[in-house]
A = this chain, B = another copy of it.
Amino acid sequence: MGMIGGSLDGFIGSVHRMAAALDGTIELVCGAFSSNAKRSIETGNALDLPEDRIYVSFEEMIAKEAQLPADLRMQFVSIVTPNHLHAQPAALALKHGFHVLCEKPLAFSFEEAKKIGEHVKRTGLLFGVTHTYTGYPMVKEAKDLIAKGKLGKIRKVIVEYPQGWLSDPIENDGQKQASWRTNPAQAGISCCVGDIGTHAENLVEYITDLKITELSADVSSVVAGRTLDDDANVLLRFNNGAKGILIASQIANGEENELKIRVYGEHGGLKWLQSEPNTLIVKQNDQPTQLRRAGANHSYLSEHARLHCRIPAGHPEGYIEAMANLYRNFAASIHAFENKTSSNPLLDYPTIEDGIRGMQFIETVIASGKENAAWKQL
């Protein structure tokens, strides 16, 4: 693979590289790691890439790689730049025949996202979006339990993603992540909803296989002087009549990444927390609560879950492993694509549709917020 963005001075690039490397099936062969040529080269050198595969712009990388023999050139690009720098490289990569795995949110705007979608459709190439949390094995287990009807018809969902890291205006102190995420020119119309609200939205639609059809969002910029949102409380309604709540916050002082989902159906409920990702809690009125635990050797787990565990139960797997599952599955799909076979549908990953959906969600939430939490359809 080739990487766009992800220089050494950020953290996201290195996470992607670790995730891609974990299973030994993906090799980083080139990169345009920064729009700053010096920084790109430094990064490439640090990663022991050959000089001629370190590029100083994504345009250069895509153009030159496309000229390499098929067995030498990168097979796909991984885009880990800020939001406003997704669409152009994605479009160019697709145009030159490269599959794309792109950070979320997919694009700068819903409009832009739909255009990427058209490129994908036109080229017939593969496109993945790194909604990492759906890569956790117990998220797969949750999806499987619901799909099999173990909870009955879903009635209520509570999904939340509280963080505290933007409780203070750290963007003014030059913290890199904070700077671009709170900057409309780089992040688009949303900070909090775009960064973590979309994760919550993606997780809930993935696990339940329901669609949010309507929402009412109370959106805030809590920290003085901040242009974009840093907090949102959202009422949800789903296509099967279920209702829900989505909470996203970057000013929940003291919270790390407390992504949590609870789903209640006619026959039971389930709970999953990202901070304790190897356990899925399943509840039912007047029954003992069940803790289902990740582990490649747990025969009681669904095949979907077990396929996403690397090691036997009792050896905790974490965030990098979850992202590695996305990389592995994307690579498996590319392999199948190239060989004109089909890959195991359980080796799934978030697709261009998920990415577009996320952008639609962001725009709808922000629109509702601007109208005092008016109901908006999506």
Contacts and interface: CB of A to CB of B under 8 A. Distances in A.
Given A320-B310, A375-B372, A256 B295 contact: yes
Contact of A165 (B14, B162, B285): B285
Contact of A155 (B47, B222, B237, B274): B222
A156 B247 CA distance: 11
Nearest to A233: B245
A37 interface: no
Interface string A254-285: 11111000101111110000111110001111
Given A318-B315, A319-B311, A17 B24 contact: yes
A252 B284 contact: no
Contacts of A262: 162, 252
Given A21-B24, A218-B235, A321-B318, A286 B299 contact: yes
For the side of the interface on A, what is the size category?
Answer: 35 or more
A11 B233 contact: no
Q: Which of A28, A151, A289 has the most chain B CB atoms inside 10 A of its CB?
A: A289
Contact of A156 (B48, B231, B283): B231
A327 to B, nearest CB: 12
A290 interface: yes
**Copies per complex of this chain:** 4
A8 to B, nearest CB: 12
A300 B167 CA distance: 18
Contact of A21 (B22, B163, B252, B317): B22
Given A22-B21, A264-B251, A321-B318, A216 B373 contact: yes
Contact of A252 (B156, B233, B372, B373): B156
A285 B164 contact: yes
Q: Which of A256, A278, A286, A319 has the most chain B CB atoms inside 10 A of its CB?
A: A256
A156 B24 contact: no
A327 B89 CA distance: 35
B313 A316 contact: no
Main secondary structure of the interface of A (DSSP, over half): loop
A1 B222 CA distance: 49
A209 interface: no
Given A293-B289, A318-B318, A164 B264 contact: yes
A252 B269 contact: yes
A300 B287 contact: yes
Interface in A55-111: none
Contact of A269 (B164, B266, B288): B164
A76 to B, nearest CB: 17
Contacts of A164: 264, 269, 283, 285
A220 interface: yes
A253 B264 contact: yes
Interface string A1-20: 00000000001001101100
Contact of A268 (B47, B235, B254): B254
Interface in A293-317: 293, 295-300, 310-317
A253 B282 contact: no
A249 interface: yes
A358 interface: no
A372 B373 CA distance: 12
Given A252-B264, A298-B286, A245 B245 contact: yes
A224 B66 CA distance: 60
Given A22-B22, A164-B283, A315-B318, 5 more contacts: A14-B310, A24-B28, A167-B264, A253-B269, A310-B320
When A and B form their complex, which 3 residue pairs have the shortest distance between CB atoms, in order from nearest? Answer: A254-B283, A256-B314, A257-B314
